[in-house]
Amino acid sequence: MERNSCLGGKKIVREHGLIPFFKLMAEDGVNTSGLWFVCIGTDRSSGDSLGPLTGTLLMEAGYANVIGTLAEPCDSDRLPRLLQRIPAGAVVLGIDACVGRPEAVGYFRLAREPIEPGRSMGRPLPPVGDWSIAAIVCENKGNPAFVLQRTPLNRVLTMARDIVKAVQNVFPLAVAEESMKR
C-alpha cells in the first residue's frame, strides 16, 4: 500500500512513514517554535475525534501552538474563527481524519499541501495548512458521517498517538527550549 512519491502530491504510509515526513519538514526549515498544529474534528464522533485527540496529546506533551483539542475542538463551526489565531508567517500542519478504501484504513495520507476539511461531507470549509496529515480511520461506504460515528475509538486513539510520537521524535521540546536560551 505504501506509495513512494515525492510530497508534491500525496503519500500514503503506515505509522513508520510519519518520522520521515516530519524530517522532510525539518529539512525545509520548519522548527518547533514556528510550527502550528491545526487538529480538525469534533469530540462528538469517534472517527472524527482524531484531530481533537491529537491536539490534546500534543498539548499534554507541552506543545504550545495547537488549535483543536478535546476541550476546544476545531470543528466545522469554529474552524474559520480559530484559524485567525495563527500568526502571519507561521508554518501550519493540518491534521484531520478521513475515510478511504478498505485497504487504506489505518494508513496516513501525507502531503506538502493543505488539507481540505469537510470535503467528504460536502461542506465548503477553507483549506488548512502548508503541510497535512489525513488519517484514514475508516472505510468510505455510503454516508461518511454515519461511518465516522461507528469507527472504533481505539484505532483513532492509536493513530493520534502515532502522530504525536513522530512529532516528539523529530521536533522534541527539549531541543526547542535549549535553542531559545541561546
Average pLDDT along the chain, 182 residues, taken 10 residues at a time? 51 97 97 96 94 98 97 94 96 96 96 87 84 95 83 97 98 65 46
DSSP state, 87? P
Query: Residue 73: in which H helix or E strand, if any?
Result: none
User: What pLDDT, on a 0 to 100 scale, did the predictor assign at position 32?
Assistant: 93
Q: How far is CA 164 from CA 3, 17, 81, 149, 167, in A?
A: 22, 13, 25, 23, 5
* HSE-up of residue 129 (Cα within 13 Å, Cβ side): 26
Backbone angles phi, psi at 2, to 5 degrees: -65, 130
Pick the closest to residue 17 from 29, 5, 32 (CA basis).
5
CB 114 within 8 A of CB 132: yes
Burial class (CB in 10 A: 0-12, 13-18, 19+), 12: buried
pTM of the model: 0.90
**Which residues neighbour 51 within 8 Å (Cβ) at sequence distance 6 or greater?**
39, 40, 41, 68, 73, 74, 95, 96, 97
User: CA angle, corner 43, sides to 123 and 108, nearest 5?
Assistant: 70
CB 96 within 8 A of CB 40: yes
Share of the chain above pLDDT 70, in %: 89
